[in-house]
Structure 1
Amino acid sequence: MMALRDGRLRAWCAAALLWLSAVALLPSAALGAAPADLYEVFVPVTEDRDAALAAALRTVVIRVSGRRDAPDRLGDALASPWNYAQRSGLTADGMLQVGFDSLSIDRLLTGAGLPVWGRERPATLVWLQVQDRDGTAFWLGADTLAIERDALERAAHERGVPLIWPALDFDERQTMHAQAGDDELLRSAARYGANAVLLGRARRDGGEVSWTLLSGGETRHVTGSLEDGVHLAADTFAALYAATGSSLQEIGVEVAGISNLDAYAATLNYLENMTLVRSVTVDRVAGDRVRFRLAVRGDEAALLRALALDTRLAPAAPTVDRGLGADAAAAAGAPLQLRYQP
């Protein structure tokens, strides 16, 4: 770590280390950023336990790479799944639970030229209308019991896509009955804290499901099975958020609004827990601004996309160092400007 250049920064960092030590003792859910363990898989138990473990390895490499063709790229590695498993055991309902070593899986994927898609995964609000055999149609919500919802949940768990289901209150039912447009769907996603919308229309008479994904200002469509909606979302998100290669890029980030120790420690902890970020050093403190230097697996655009999934660090108006004009500051590699939002 680089030298700390003033007493205030040294004091903040010393106090923050104590704060972060306390945070580390909390349950992981308190940190709030990641979906369920990406490296843990549940598969049916077969007579051939090695075959079940190999199936678990295939699931985890697809989930972590974001690529459905990942198993085909790994060759003989699938023949020795025990080399990557950290723990395994049977659950009460007879499933084989396998926890894989994250570093080993990441190295396996990187060595095969595959990307690694970490914890930064868009939450997706699902609007799925099902037409029953008698012609009646209904929307699936958070409290709906339906085989279609179960199928989507299983596929989403396998791909590592966090899904959100609507409450289906009166206003929402009226809006969807009136054929909500894209803008209304995106506003509904914002109300639920979701980053994307997956709209589907299914029929129980065996017809195909029509899917539309709204994300990042773009619209994508696919027609197929129930699971194909989840695959559309996962394939789209992996192309945006997965990091390829092992080289690191150094990126400066200046965060405003850090006015106390809690804000400083929360920001440092958040940055250190981002999958793209391999290391964080503190550069300087000036007023309520703290400048960090990040070693990032990927480029600045990938970092900004990952940051946009969370509201804690929002884009801020750029500042220019005294004595430098805007053009000179850009040429000197001015840091990204963000604002802490508790």
Structure 2
Amino acid sequence: MRVSMYKISFRRIFSLRLAVQRVLIFCCLLVLSGQSFSLQVEGLFSESIVILNDSDSERSRAYSEALRAVLIKLTGSEDAIRAPGLLRAFESAGEYVDAVSYGTEDETLRDSASLGFKSESNQRVLNINFSRVLVETLLLDAGIPIFDSNRPSVLLWMVVQEPNGERNLITPELYPNFISHFESFSKKRGIPFIYPLLDFEDQKALNEDKLWGLDAVTIEGASERYGPDSVLAGRLQITPSADLVGLWRFFFQNSVQSFDGLDTEIESYLDAALNRVTTELVSYFAINPLNNDFALATLRVDGIANLEGYSSLLDYLNTLGLLNNFVLSEMEGGRLEFRVEIRGDLEQLVGLIALDRDLKIIENSERSFSQGDFPLLHYRWTR
């Protein structure tokens, strides 16, 4: 009896924590409503690895494992660590380490059949920070595209039909294993996921039956309040024989892709869709060092009120990896114009800037004589 009371208490605490998290997310979304909800991914150059002892061989293993994890986060793909040019780097991963520290990791293990039981084991970990310059040079020399730290968000909608025909939207309470897998994938690949609140407004716009239909207009309408950079919506039917049969729709850059899902294991079923989405995002936003195609354009920025704003704008432009070079060409009042050289095409730069909230695009701008034949990108500085 005492064990049952503990289980009920833990469930309530767990549900309360989830409710608080959703309220906090909702508050943030109110602030960001109508804007792109890209997220700055932290810790791309660091990783913590569980170690068994303090031997040199164990430390070397930890360095190699951590470097593999960091490269996957930086590129968004597991294919990167299979590149021939990186094999030696894994053998001498310590050469890329910038700093290390020891710590203890609280590892939480939950029985998938019950949220009530929780066991914790303290394990010693090695916290490893790699040199950004050395790691980026490693990828550059290997010709592997790098995914910028400011990454597109993915809003996840999913409905499951059980063998008895009952349909449920994915929630942490009903399908904790699904959410856990999404979070694990997000951390490993550095892809920020957004989860719908599933409050009254969501239920009215996109309930279980509406989501099952995967109607593009309905999904886009329900997603608008979150301002995501992309949307992944899926339906999954669990057959009486435990087969997983589903359909996905991915909304990105004003296009919709549809693809099937078929598996017998939930992890591999979800991974197939998440890998496909990640590949699409990486191919669009990642900076390819082997791309020798350059485009020239004029970047006009309004709203620079003082020296601090000018300095902040320059710092921001320096973070845009697609800008190979930029030179101030004209200044008038609070308006600045730059001649920019873009690695890749203009559309990719526009998409990268759209991930931020620092520059707001101004449509139908008039050209000036000094711009010549270069395309004009006109923005207002909002920071």
TM-score higher than 0.5: yes
Q: 1:156-185 deviations in whole A, cap 9, x for unaligned?
A: 111110111111012312323342422332
Q: 2:92 matched to which residue of 1?
A: 80
Aligned to 1:243: 287
1:302 partnered with 2:302: no
Cα root mean square deviation, aligned? 3.0
1:38 is paired with a residue whose SS is coil
Q: How far does residue 217 in structure 1 lie from its aligned partner after superposition?
A: 1.9
Evaluate the alpha carbon distance shift between residue 211 and residue 267 of structure 1 in structure 2; reply closer, same or farther with a 3 A threshold: same
> What residue number does 2:69 align with?
59
Distance 1:46 1:213 in 2: 42
* Secondary structure at the counterpart of residue 201 of structure 2: helix
2:6 aligned partner: none
- Where does structure 2 lack aligned partners over 5 or more consecutive residues? 1-37, 107-122, 262-267
Tell me, yes or no, if structure 1 residue 192 matches structure 2 residue 233.
no
Q: CA deviation at 1:334?
A: 5.0
**Cα displacement (A) at 1:307:** 0.8
CA change 1:196–1:280 in 2 (3 A) is same
Structure 1 window deviating more from structure 2 (131-140 vs 284-293): it is 131-140
Structure 1 pair 216–44 and aligned structure 2 pair: CA distance change class (3 A): farther
Distance 1:260 1:187, change over 3 A: farther
Match of 1:337 in 2: 378
For the residues of structure 1 that align with 2:163 and 2:97, how far apart are their CA atoms? 45
* Alignment partner, residue 177 of structure 2: 147
SS at match of 1:290: strand
Aligned AA (1:164): I
Q: Which amino acid aligns with 2:181?
A: A
Q: Is structure 2 residue 374 aligned with structure 1 residue 314?
A: no
Cα pair distance change 1:140/1:56, threshold 3 Å = same
- Alignment TM-score, normalising by the size of structure 2: 0.69
**Equivalent residues of 1:313, 1:338 under 8 A apart:** yes
Structure 1 unaligned regions, length at least 5: 1-31
Q: Does residue 127 of the first structure (1) align with residue 171 of the second (2)?
A: no
CA displacement 1:185-217 (0-9 Å, x = unmatched):
233333113111111334674625643321112
The DSSP-based 3-state class of the residue aligned with 1:225 is: helix
Report the Cα offset of residue 229 of structure 1.
2.9
- Mapped pair 1:177 → 2:208: yes
SS in 2 for 1:339: strand
Q: Give the one of 142, 152, 167 matched to 2:197.
A: 167
The one of 120, 133, 153 aligned to 1:103: 133
Deviation at 1:128, TM superposition (A): 2.2
- In the superposition, the TM-score normalised over structure 1's length comes to 0.77
Q: Secondary structure at the residue paired with 1:91?
A: strand
Question: What is the deviation of 1:240?
Answer: 0.3
- Contact persistence 2:153–2:230 (CA under 8 A): yes
Letter in 1 for 2:91: A
% of aligned pairs identical? 24
Which of 276, 284, 307 lines up with 2:330 in the alignment?
Answer: 284
2:251 aligned counterpart, secondary structure? strand
In the superposition, relative to structure 1, how do residues 56 and 129 fare at CA in structure 2: closer, same or farther (>3 Å)?
A: farther
The answer as to whether partners of 1:285 and 1:291 remain within 8 angstroms in 2 is yes
Q: Distance in 1 between matches of 2:155 and 2:379?
A: 27
Deviation at 1:266, TM superposition (A): 4.5
**1:66 touches 1:159 (CA, 8 Å); kept in 2?**
yes
Amino acid at match of 2:77: R
Q: 1:91 aligns with which of 104, 121, 124?
A: 104
Q: Match of 1:36?
A: 42
The aligned residue for residue 219 of structure 1 is 256
CA distance in 2, matches of 1:275, 1:120: 11
| Cα-to-partner distance string for 1:311-333 (whole Å, 9 max, x where unaligned) | 432332232225x7xxxx552x3
Taking structure 1 as reference, are residues 41 and 228 closer, same or farther at Cα in structure 2, changes over 3 Å only?
farther
Match among 251, 260, 276 for residue 232 of structure 1: 276
> How far 1:75 moved relative to its partner?
2.3
State whether residues 91 and 97 of structure 1, in contact with CA within 8 Å, keep that contact through their aligned partners in structure 2: no
| Distance across 2 between alignment mates of 1:62 and 1:337 | 35
- Report if aligned partners of 2:236, 2:247 keep a CA contact under 8 Å in 1: yes
The Cα shift of 1:236 comes to 0.8
> Which deviates more from structure 2 when the two are superposed, residues 275-284 or residues 85-94?
275-284
2:203 maps to amino acid: R
Q: Distance in 2 between matches of 1:143 and 1:276?
A: 42
SS at match of 1:179: helix
**What is the aligned counterpart of 1:45 among 46, 51, 57?**
51
